[in-house]
Amino acid sequence: MNPFILSMMISNLALGTIITAASYHWFMAWIGLEMNTLAIIPILAKQHHPRATEAATKYFIIQMTASSIILFSSIFNAYHTGTWDITQLTTHPTPSLLTIALAMKLGLVPMHFWLPEVMQGVNTMTALIITTWQKLPPMFLLYLTANQLPMVILLLLAISSTLISGWSGLNQTQLRKIMAYSSIGHLGWMFAILSTSQKLLLFTLTTYLLMTIPIFLIFISSTTKTIKDLGMLWTTSPTSCTMTMVIFMALGGLPPLSGFLPKWLILEELTTNHLIPLATMLTLTSLLSLMFYMRLTYTTTLTV
């Protein structure tokens, strides 16, 4: 891709996210989401390969469907309330539709099937953008509307995402698919705490981004794409191999690493709010995710 066109697409990608984050009007938030989506489609398809074209098409269809639901729910809410304010979701179907649409954009279970396939069809740098930057616009909208979203739907999405992500990640050999299921699992934890503590949501999101970006940068620098490649990482870069092991264990939430702290605080907050069954289910389902993280760590140490 021409460097000028690529820089223009990245600028529009950033601008769309900023517009969504700064909006208190539903129409402006929707415009930001559309700019963000339309800017990343050429980046997804720039490889001129059938897999990349398929990934871009899947991503476009899913994002447009979710954006249409968001626009419909905001128009429906504005028709009954007379306001386009994001924080005024008083009409009954609107919060549920909005939650489902944003979950679809993020790739939560049961609307998660597109995310691993899209990430597998693009290069590692583009997969990094999908799992980090592209999560920000929907999360900003969830943050603004957290107190008005239906808690039952949020908790169902949270439990199912942590369960299915751990279960599905066990039989994967492609690292991009594994990181996709890792993203789904961490988003499940964020949805579990969304209606209870927004500050903890931001802390968990920040911690996830700070762990995901370095691991993708290691994959890019070492051209690592599969678990087999991961086993050969020590011979080329012992430092990267050590960092990879530590980050995988942190993503799994092993104490005393950084990934353990947000999960511990989420469990403490849920217990304080008398949601002990939910905290117990999240803990049990996260064991599946921890298993495939430990498998990756074990694979990395085979050649050490």
Digit-coded pLDDT (tens) for 95-152:
999 999 999 999 998 899 999 999 999 999 999 999 999 999 999 999 999 888 999 9
Instruction: Of 50, 41, 51, 46, give the one whose Cα is nearest residue 2.
Output: 46
* pLDDT at residue 51 is higher than 80: yes
Residue 25's φ and ψ, nearest 5 degrees, are -115, 130
Percent of the chain with pLDDT over 90: 58
Total residue count of the chain as it appears in this document: 304
Q: How many helices (H) and strands (E) does the chain have?
A: 15, 0
* pLDDT at residue 282 is higher than 60: yes
What tokens does 283 get? 């803990």
CA distance 69 to 33: 12
What tokens does 137 get? 């616009």
CA distance 98 to 59: 19
Determine the residue type at 39. Answer: A
pTM for this predicted structure: 0.93
